[in-house]
Homo-oligomer: A and B are copies of this chain.
Amino acid sequence: MTEPDDLLHSTAVDLRLATFRLARRLRRERAVDTLSDAHFAVLACLRSGRLPIGTLAQRERVSAPTMSNTVDALAEAGLVIRVPAEDDRRRVYIEITDAGTAIVTATVHKRDAALADALAEFDFSDTQLRTLREAAALMRKVAER
């Protein structure tokens, strides 16, 4: 346990507050209003390649039936397709479609643009921007511990 008033702890407090507030602010930026955060997260998960339902459920920390329902909805919207595996016929791979990829790309661009605009508005110096980038790298290390 860390002392309540050392640099480590006060950094943790500041960073927790800032992270929650910024995440909340950015989550509001969406390309498609009808797509929930949970559904969007699955779509984003599939950008780098197809995955079976079970793996998707584990990654998103939901149950298999929940992921099955989510995939139903995404498939009905034409954003993913089910592809039965050839070697193991119990398994079904989920692949993102071009329409799905387009939504992920547009949403990501929208969030990045909103954040870039916000940063621009404050006239941050290059030094401050580099501080933010370094911090971002540290934050990812911490999150993926």
Contact = CB atoms under 8 A, between A and B. Distances in A.
Interface of A: 1-2, 7-26, 108, 111-113, 115-122, 124, 126, 128-145
B133 A15 contact: yes
A129 B139 CA distance: 11
Given A11-B119, A145-B121, A139 B18 contact: yes
B136 A7 contact: no
22 contacts: A2-B117, A7-B126, A11-B116, A13-B112, A14-B132, A16-B111, A17-B136, A18-B136, A20-B26, A21-B140, A22-B23, A24-B143, A25-B143, A118-B145, A122-B138, A122-B142, A128-B134, A131-B131, A131-B134, A132-B135, A132-B138, A135-B136
Q: Is the interface of A mostly helix, strand, loop or mixed?
A: helix
Interface core residue of A2, A9, A117, A135 (most chain B CB under 10 Å)? A135
A115 B23 contact: no
Nearest to A120: B8
